[in-house]
Amino acid sequence: MKVVIDRIEDGIATVELENGKMINVPAELFDGCREGDIVYITPNAQETENKNQEVLIDISGLFDN
């Protein structure tokens, strides 16, 4: 997904989505970016799987008594 940073004010970034919709999100999501920057947001399958495995290990630890 591609977003365009429209403006950043008071810790809030207003971004335009590919469908033209404007949304407000915490500006810290775009640390180092400026107004007008185009940012691509893509899922990372490997990191998602790693995190899921960590959660499963944590959950199993709760029930291993």
Q: What is the pLDDT of residue 8?
A: 97
**DSSP string over 35-49:** TT-EEE----HHHHH
Distance CA 50, CA 45 (A): 9
Report the range of poorest mean pLDDT among 32-36, 40-44, 46-50, 60-64: 60-64
* Domain count across the chain: 1
Distance CA 52, CA 33 (A): 29
Provide the residue range defining the domain that includes 58.
2-63
What the block records as the tokens of 33 is 């970016």
Q: What is the pLDDT of residue 60?
A: 83
Largest Cα separation within the chain, whole Å, is 54
- Least Cα distance to 23 among 40, 9, 3 occurs for 3
* Whether the predicted pLDDT of 43 surpasses 70: yes
Q: What is the pLDDT of residue 58?
A: 86
Q: What is the pLDDT of residue 65?
A: 58
